[in-house]
Amino acid sequence: MSPAQRVAPVTCLGCGCACDDLTVQVSEGRIVDVSPPCPLARRWFGDGRVPDRILVGGAVATLDRAVVAAADVLGGARRALLVLAPDVATETQRVALTLADTLRAGVETATSSPAAAGLLAAQRRGRAAATLGEIRNRADVLLFWGVDPSARYPRYLSRYALDPAGTHVAEGRAGRTVISASIGADRGPASADLSLTLAVDDEIAALSVMRAVALGNSLEGLTPALRSVADAAARLAAGRYAVIVHEAEPSEERGRDPYRAEGLIALAQALNGVTRAALSSLRAGGNRSGAEAVLTWQTGYPLAITYAPGYPRYAPAERDQRLTGADAMLVVGDAGALGELFARAAGRLPTVVVGPRASEAPFAASVAIDTGVAGIHDAGIAYRMDDVPLPLRPPLEGPRSGVEVMTRMLAAVRGRRNGGQTG
């Protein structure tokens, strides 16, 4: 037996926190331990094993054969669609976008509808944001708006936004005021200094009241619930550095107003008139934020673009139409993490899947090429939920890398268009 090895520091993409201080223990080619303890990291890393297969029409094939078959599927399409799925590095995403440009394809991402609404609101209004490091070091008043990070982001509270001592909050938790706002089924942290309970239908009204207080407007005739909201806003305004934390991904309460992101952005901006304030949007992992970053630096837009005119055109209102109008699809990343809408579309189209567990996609793929998982097997760069890029140090060797496969596929598509084929 080979001796156990410890690899550190390792970045975990199990959630949007992308904690980059982990130590991973490897024995006999498998991951046997992850520390510091985090249930989400342990589940994401697993034992590190992933399938290593290449399939064309469901049959085992060589990489050369699969690349040529993929080029035939995509190169023969009139309205190809690239979907950037989780668990691939930004280098792979970048080559995939070059291929989409070559094909004049549409491009979608795994960005959820709530997160997309927040991105669109930020484009309309601007946004007062901060890195997680700045929140850790400066935030002395925090409002958790309909979210308790403990379940989906296990180390957010201990690493960034409550417990640790910061350069301007030396006392740690004792130096911070915590306000918890529960919205319907979406509960805030139980250990808050001030707790609010709001009905879903009162969410936008409550944000409007808080913004009015931050702007210095006098309010009369408020209900007891909204008076508590006004008091919470006054505490935010009295802080040295206020932070509003909210869930940007789908939550337990399905009936929440889709415009709440705009209300939260407006509140953070109003607070910056009387103090310093930032909005912290909690995002899922797998380098989803990286897909938006790569799209933005390549096209100017974070999601929902098409290269059909010969240049990138931004059309977020056409996301559903782009799915129904496609005649071939390329999924780059873990297809199992895309959800029912994409899986249903891929199931009716000729589809090429390149990414971790491609051979186990929840639909029949024309071509499936397994790759390593970014951060477990593949090196490169991934983005944290606050858009900070982080290097990946994989603890294991795995199947072929995503960037290798996409580079060969791009060459094959270009060769096909030039009258030949390149494997």
- pLDDT at residue number 420: 59
Please check whether residue 330 is in contact with residue 102, taking contact to mean a CB–CB distance below 8 angstroms.
Answer: no
Domain boundaries along the sequence of the chain: 50-112+286-377+398-417, 114-282
pLDDT tens-place string over residues 287-319: 999 999 999 999 999 999 999 999 999 999 887
Helical segments of 239-326, H only: 260-271, 288-299, 319-325
The single residue listed with the structure tokens 């790759």 is: 371
Res 227 pLDDT > 80: yes
Q: Which fold has domain 50-112+286-377+398-417?
A: Rossmann fold (3.40.50)
Q: pLDDT band for position 1 (50/70/90)? A: very low
Other beta carbons within 10 angstroms of residue 51's beta carbon come to 12
Residue that wins the pLDDT comparison between 320 and 354: 354
Q: Does CATH place domain 114-282 in 3.50.50.60?
A: no
Instruction: Say whether 114-282 and 50-112+286-377+398-417 share the same fold.
Output: no
Q: pLDDT band for position 2 (50/70/90)? A: low
SS3 content of the chain, % helix, strand, coil (to 5): 35, 20, 40
Angstrom distance (rounded) from CA 30 to CA 117: 40
Amino acid identity of residue 256, one-letter, is R
Percent of the chain at pLDDT above 70?
A: 98
User: pLDDT averaged over the chain?
Assistant: 94
pLDDT tens-place string over residues 78-135: 999 999 999 999 999 999 999 999 999 999 999 999 999 999 999 999 999 999 999 9
Question: What spatial distance separates the first Cα and last Cα of the chain, rounded to whole Å?
Answer: 39
pTM of the model as a whole: 0.94
Percent of the chain at pLDDT above 90?
A: 88
Res 283 pLDDT > 50: yes
Which residues 6+ apart lie within 8 Å of 170 measured at CB? none
pLDDT tens-place string over residues 347-397: 889 999 999 999 999 999 999 999 999 999 999 999 999 999 999 999 999
**Local structure of residue 378 (DSSP, 8 states):** B
Q: pLDDT band for position 421 (50/70/90)? A: very low
Rounded average pLDDT over 239-251: 97
Rounded average pLDDT over 221-249: 95
How many residues are recorded in the chain?
423
Angstrom distance (rounded) from CA 375 to CA 380: 8
Strand pairing report for 106-109 and 194-198: unpaired
- pLDDT at residue number 339: 80
* Sign of the C-alpha dihedral computed for residues 309, 310, 313 and 316 taken in this order: positive
